[in-house]
Amino acid sequence: MQMSNKEFLAQIEELKQSYIAHLPEKMEQLKKLEKSLDEDLSNFESLKELYQLTHKLAGSSASFGLSELSERAYELEMFIKPLVKKNEALDKNSFEVYKTLLNSLKKSFSE
């Protein structure tokens, strides 16, 4: 049985609300990774996890039309990507950029 576009959109809206309700958990994950990188910049595993997390966030939030969140996650993803691909950890210079990007991502959670 195929549903109408209207029923379908209502179902997507429901999914979107549930997605938004679970955003605080993603925020917690983000904070956990931030903490572990703050303590140890060379923690490559955390950086890799942060890359996966921002990649997923950028994709899933865009699917629900949360463009601000998606753009900020994408910026951070693109910043971390070359490091992860080259197996490099954050250094002091990139750490500042990372902090700025992370802060604007965190802000976009509440928008």
Partner 1 sequence: MPTLQKIMYVEDEPDIQTIASIALENIGGFSVKTCNCGADALKQAPEFAPDLILLDVMMPDMDGPTTLQEIRKIDSLISTPVVFITAKAQLHEIAQYKSQPGVLDVITKPFDPIILSDTIRNIWENYHANV
**Residues at the contact surface with partner 1, assessed by CB under 8 A:** 2-3, 5, 7-9, 11-12, 15, 19, 52, 55-56, 58-60, 62-64, 70, 74, 77-78, 81
Closest CB to partner 1 among residues 57, 102: 57
Cβ neighbours, 10 Å, residue 35: 11
Looking at the Cβ atoms of 9 and 97, the one nearer to partner 1 is 9
Complex with partner 1: residue 38 or 59, whichever CB lies closer: 59
CB of 109 to partner 1, least distance (A): 16
Closer residue to partner 1, CB minimum distance, 8 or 97: 8
Among 91, 90, 103, 107, which Cα is nearest to 51's? 90
**CA distance to 51, 59, 65, 67, 106, per residue, from 34 (Å):** 12, 21, 26, 23, 11
Q: How many CA atoms lie within 13 A of 4 on its CB side?
A: 3
- CA distances 71 to 14, 40, 62, 85, Å, are 23, 27, 8, 21
Least separation in angstroms between residue 92's CB and partner 1 is 26
We find the least distance from the C-beta atom of residue 28 to partner 1, in angstroms, to be: 17
